[in-house]
Amino acid sequence: MDPLALLQNDMSRLIMQSNNIFETWTDKNAETMKTQCVGGMKQAYNNYANEMNTQMRFYMIAQSKIEDAMKRLMKLVN
């Protein structure tokens, strides 16, 4: 399976399960844990996913340009 999909599943599971915990745990420590720990991991994941999506777009554009150049080269050779 795709590692990014696995990470997405893990993050979704973390958010869902932690929301269950924070529904009943409502003191100052819970808020700190929710915003700094779980929220921090969520933000780091979102940043990573956005960066990967950007890099994949660059990769796909470059791959398309290379394929086009190879097709033109093959036409010239033949």
- For residue 73, pLDDT over 90 is answered with yes
Mean pLDDT value of segment 22-51: 92
Average pLDDT, the chain: 92
pLDDT tens-place string over residues 6-33: 888 999 999 999 998 988 998 989 999 9
> Which has the closest alpha carbon to 65: 77, 73, 53?
73
The CA distance from 22 to 56, in Å, is 35
- For residue 2, pLDDT over 90 is answered with no
Extents of the domains making up the chain: 3-77
What tokens were used for 41? 């991991």
The CA distance from 6 to 19, in Å, is 20
The CA distance from 41 to 6, in Å, is 15
The CA distance from 59 to 20, in Å, is 39
